[in-house]
Amino acid sequence: MGSRCGSESISDSGTVALSGSGLRQRALEGCKRVPAHSTDASALVHRPPRRDPIGANGALDEGTAGSRKRAPRASSAAARATLVNRHRVTVSGIPPWVDAARLVGHDPKRPLWLDAHDAADVAERLRNVVLGGSPVRVVVEPGLPRSAVRDARLRAARRRRRRTAGFERSGVRLDAEGRVSLTPEAIALRLARRVRGASVVDACAGCGGNAIAFARAGCPVVAIEIDPGRLAMARHNARVYGVDSRIRFVRGDARDWVARLSADLLFVDPPWGGTNAIRRPPTLHDLPPLEDILAAARGRYERIWVKAPAAFVVGSLPGARVEPVFGLAPGDRDRVKFLLLELSDRS
């Protein structure tokens, strides 16, 4: 038999049973009441830190079970939100001789799933890019919001300010064409060191960027330039770099002089100005001096290097080995600055 104390009774086993006003008082102190629209008296449930959804009597605790049923729905919603915020980016048209991962910033062998920020960056860096005559295509699904496109263009504009420098020493002279066509000094030196000490004919010397680099690599150089003003700039710039004694400057038409000279390497950087006026990738026929120079050089040079625009149709120069030359600075290390086409002559 148990003893009674007010509205509580203590059984012989030591458990406390509540009845009448005691049940109502305890419910107010240690339990939570269901919403007013619920009329189920069994909805008064205890709130321990963690509880099992199956009560001691085997009944399902609706409060706990309900929260556990909702968890998967929340997880699914988060997964859907993640997919909605991702864009499927497909890149095609990159020639096999290009380092695609460096160009794109990701491995494009399979479709990419990127957020709007990264997808917009990829689309911007490949916008209007043509390599070897092949336009690079980017498809982003779903389409990007205008704000993401605008922000990506602003970021790209800021990056381009940190491009590989042309001449790195002060006191050099350049004209408007030279500022655009000059091979950046660090890149020119890298190329020149591949043929260290070899004799070189620079057929279109311009303001002297490549001729100076070859001379700095220990190469005896003949620099040919038809424009007297630019030839004077090349002489001056060679003096700035202290290599004017290693370069023979020749004023004249390269198509005539190339046929008279002979060397280990013929380097040709033809004017690209005319390619800006055409609405298709340039070919050999769009660079008239180049076609004539190569015909005049036949059989007189061990190797021929041609610096061509990145969009140049490489198939128009049969037998050429193609190397894309990327920038070296943060602002252009993912951009192809030009193509280096190598031909082996003496045939």
Q: Which of 274, 324, 297 is nearest to 203 (CA)?
A: 297
> Mind listing the pLDDT tens digit for each residue in 81-115?
445 679 999 999 999 999 999 999 988 888 899 99
Q: Which amino acid is at 259?
A: A
The pLDDT of residue 170: 93
- Provide the angle, in degrees to the nearest 10, between the axes of the packed helices 146-160 and 116-125: 50
* pLDDT, tens digit (0-9, with 9 covering 90-100), for 49-86: 555 444 444 444 444 444 444 545 545 544 444 456 79
pLDDT digits (tens, 9 = 90+) for 317-338: 999 999 999 999 999 999 999 9
CATH class for the domain made up of 176-344: alpha beta
Q: How far is CA 120 from CA 111, 124, 141, 305, 334, in A?
A: 15, 6, 11, 36, 15
Residue 284 has pLDDT above 50, yes or no: yes
Q: Are 311 and 133 in contact (CB under 8 A)?
A: yes
Q: What is the mean pLDDT of the chain?
A: 82
d(CA 77, CA 80): 5
Answer yes or no: are the C-beta atoms of 9 and 2 closer than 8 Å. yes
Taking the domains of the chain in order of start, what are their residue ranges? 35-84, 85-160, 176-344
> Residue 47: how many CB atoms within 10 A of its CB?
9
Structure-token pair, residue 325 = 């030359």
Of residues 125 and 45, which shows the higher confidence score? Answer: 125
Instruction: Kindly state the greatest CA–CA separation across the chain.
Output: 128
57 or 151, which is more confident: 151
**Is 0.85 topped by the overall pTM?**
no
Burial of 280 (0-12, 13-18, 19+ CB in 10 A): exposed
- Which pLDDT band holds residue 209 (cuts at 50, 70, 90)? very high
pLDDT at 85: 78
32/332: higher pLDDT: 332
Helix residue spans in the chain (DSSP H): 21-30, 62-84, 100-104, 116-125, 146-160, 176-181, 185-193, 209-216, 228-240, 254-257, 288-296
Give the pLDDT band (50/70/90) at residue 344: confident
